Amino acid sequence: MKILSQNTAFGGMQGVFAHESDACKCEMTFAVFVPPQAVLERRPVLWYLSGLTCTHQNVMEKGEYRRMAAELGLIVVCPDTSPRGNDVPDELTNWKMGKGAGMYLDATEAPWAENYRMYTYITEELPTLVAEHFRVDMDRQGIFGHSMGGHGAMTIALKNPGRFKSCSAFAPIVEPSTADWTVDAFEKYLGPDKAKWREYDACALVADGARFPEFLIDQGSADSFLENGLRPWLFEDAIKDTEIGLRLRMHERYDHSYYFISTFMDDHLRWHAERLG
């Protein structure tokens, strides 16, 4: 693991690191904020998954999470959104596909299957690496994310309810198998059989029996992607006859940007801290 940068912030350490990934067959970069409490004891870890076109840097520079994470004693890990490198397949003119758009799934179709294994990277490889190098309490894990990352956080939580104790999302894509801006990527990554898409779709997972105790979702009503891409009301409908809890908060005048995310970041960190103990 290479140290790319380390900076002191709110008594803790904000670091950026790189390593060779077996899952993605390339060098991957991720950020970790370590609160001051982690000097003496293992602390809960919170995974933040970013959205389309983003890297670890977007939330690290705009998310405004460090002050509250330091106060609450939360380790925050921010992975990249896709594999990177000159040898990694991409669609240069399509921001919804390829680099920056890994969708947090394991691709099965050529040429994507060799590198685009973000689900395995997030759920297996990166947690193992983080546990080796940082004082994390792996029995207390939470996950959250934005947009494509909100989709990733919700599906990963639903598929791993024994691992994660909390999950929240900012403007998540709750049903990517039918959303205008994700259907194309799902078909290219996973093939034309839509039955295979269901394991990476929060609404479909719930319909197929997946369960998680509760979710917090914040959504801006002025979000330009709300009607065709995000549609949180679909998840609200999906859980109606289940025991899954949902706190869906709609916010007038807020859009899809990090101005929106940073406004409600403290609320999400407190939500996770309450459930992680």
Domains within the chain, CATH numbers bracketed: 2-276 (3.40.50.1820)
* Catalytic site residue from 21, 82, 147, 166: 147
pLDDT for 153: 98
Q: SS3 of 35, please?
A: coil
Model pTM above 0.85: yes
Average pLDDT in the 190-218 region?
Answer: 98
pLDDT for 36: 97
- Would residue 147 be called left, alpha or beta, if left means φ above 0 and alpha means ψ between -120 and 50 degrees? left
> Which residue matches tokens 């105790």?
213
- Would residue 231 be called left, alpha or beta, if left means φ above 0 and alpha means ψ between -120 and 50 degrees? left
Residue 223 annotated as catalytic: yes
Computed over every residue of the chain, the mean pLDDT equals: 97
pLDDT for 177: 97
* Catalytic site residue from 80, 218, 223, 272: 223
Tens digit of pLDDT for each residue in 126-141? 999 999 999 999 999 9
Residue 147 annotated as catalytic: yes
Tens digit of pLDDT for each residue in 58-107? 999 999 999 999 999 999 999 999 999 999 999 999 999 999 999 999 99
Lookup: tokens for 48:
């933040």
Sheet strand arrangement including 214-220: 2-9, 12-21, 26-34, 75-79, 43-49, 136-146, 164-170, 214-220, 245-251
- What is the rounded distance in angstroms from the CA atom of residue 70 to the CA atom of residue 269? 10
- What is the rounded distance in angstroms from the CA atom of residue 65 to the CA atom of residue 193? 39
* Catalytic site residue from 56, 256, 268, 272: 256
